[in-house]
Amino acid sequence: MLKKVLIANRGEIAVRIIRACSEAGIRSVAIFTEPDRYALHAKRADESYSLGDDPLAGYLDPLRLVNLAVETGCDAIHPGYGFLSENANFAQLCEQKGIVFIGPKSSVIHKMGDKTQARDSMRAAGIPITPGSEGNLADLEEALSLAGKIGYPVMIKATSGGGGRGIRRCDTPEELKNQYPRVISEATKAFGSAEVFLEKCIVDPCHIEVQILADSQGNVIHLFERDCSIQRRNQKLIEIAPSPQLTPEQRQYIGNLAVKAAKAVGYENAGTVEFLLSGNEVYFMEMNTRVQVEHTITEQITGVDIVREQLRIAAGLPLSFRQEDIHFRGFAMQFRINAEDPKNDFLPSFGRITHYYAPGGPGVRVDTAIYTGYEIPPYFDSMCLKLVVWALTWEEMIARGRRAIDDMRLHGIKTTSNYYQEILKHPDFVKGQFNTGFVPAHPELLNYSVKRHPSDIALVLAAAIAAHVGR
């Protein structure tokens, strides 16, 4: 087993990895930049090291992180998600320095991170992909010609893109002419590459992703699917496992496709294969070569500790489970509680958390790194916490989700929690009928009113009394 792991990340995912290391008897090493000096992950790890004053530079410097791992006696690096987690050069540096990268090989990251290579690999393996360009587009003329053949709407995407960036939908040739240079510009700035490709836009599909695990002995299994259709501008808001919209036959088919895709590229460690589902048609979208933000709900329905399995696989151990051992029970749902104001076009709401009370009770899990008094810095992702609920039935899960959100107290900033309450009350969501068009189709859900809870009033009174006594 591994003995010491450097966690090349921050926030809640760093805390999640620290916990897994602790249970496995592995020492953990945290990193932080100045804005994160008082962050929870920096306090919970066995060792912590400063990367300097710049908020981002240290987290994005592969050579510095690998050298730090060597200097501190680490035998592995866990990249978490975001930052350098899908950076093939980072994984390659680890390989060169004799540090285990807790993820797939650098060659696989490179192949699946390049979306045109990923499409080519899936096409060769017999995995259905959306109609589109074979390789990168040469110029606008090729894009217009291909779009005319496959039919509008089309999507133009950055080859190295991710996180919802470098993507534009085009419904007409005029829109394609306008959006083509914009995507190239955004791709160049965000990903350092001007390469783009084009594919048919599947209108309002269900976004289904499958969690897979693969070890170095060639064993590959799936842990069923997650439904990530509740999203805004390609950014996920609420995730559900399993999808309430799949038939047993579709579930088995998509799960088998994900395993086939992973085997086709020689995948190792945890990963996610993402699909678009339109009626009975399934299309490969992309493969995420890392642990996902929403891995929590898969853990809740299967009982498999995905981060623990990542550590075991990285140590060269076989999977703890065979496919026939994996079953799911009930439903789980994750809410990304973001520091954003939904009523103001989801504008970020960074600042000091004046009071935080975590929800609890049966079937409730919270993954976070915030606490009362914590200052949310403006340099990073706006997610404050991941609220996860589980229940035996769909109806009980929705009720538990509403109760858990109502339990939570998070003051000092605006969050997306009240907006999620409106989604949970919508008849279509309650019936389990939704797709990626749900959020834009229901702008009326933003017209909610924020009601003061009796406990909120008590907090205000307590603060006023404390301020008066302190004079």
Residues 59-91: tens digit of each pLDDT: 999 999 999 999 999 999 999 999 999 999 999
**182 catalytic residue (yes or no):** no
Q: Pick left, alpha or beta for residue 392 (phi over 0 → left; psi -120 to 50 → alpha; otherwise beta).
A: alpha
Short-list 104, 308, 336, CA closest to 223:
308
Q: How many CA atoms does the CB half-sphere of 5 hold within 13 Å?
A: 33
- Sheet containing strand 196-200, strands side by side: 167-170, 154-158, 196-200
Residue 470 scores a pLDDT above 90: no
For Cα atoms 442, 331, 220, give the angle at the middle one, nearest 5 degrees. 110
Residues 6-53: tens digit of each pLDDT: 999 999 999 999 999 999 999 999 999 999 999 999 999 999 999 999
When the pLDDT of each residue in the chain is averaged and rounded to a whole number, the result is 94
Q: What one-character DSSP code corresponds to residue 451? A: P
E strands of 201-330, at which residues? 206-214, 220-232, 235-241, 269-278, 281-288
Residues 111-140: tens digit of each pLDDT: 999 888 999 999 999 999 999 998 899 999
Contact in structure between 307 and 20 (CB atoms under 8 Å): yes
Q: What one-character DSSP code corresponds to residue 139? A: S
Identify the pLDDT of residue 352: 97
Short-list 107, 88, 36, 95, CA closest to 69:
95
- Region 327-349: what's the mean pLDDT? 97
Identify the pLDDT of residue 459: 60
Amino acid, single-letter form, for residue 276: L
Amino acid, single-letter form, for residue 363: G
Task: Exactly one of 290, 312, 336, 365 is catalytic; name it.
Answer: 290
121-130, 162-171, 214-223, range with the lowest pLDDT:
162-171
Residue 466 scores a pLDDT above 80: no
Residues 54, 56: Cα–Cα separation, whole Å? 6
Domains of the chain: 4-102 (3.40.50.20), 131-200 (3.30.1490.20), 206-454 (3.30.470.20)
Q: Pick left, alpha or beta for residue 209 (phi over 0 → left; psi -120 to 50 → alpha; otherwise beta).
A: beta
- Region 92-102: what's the mean pLDDT? 98
3-state secondary structure of 2: coil
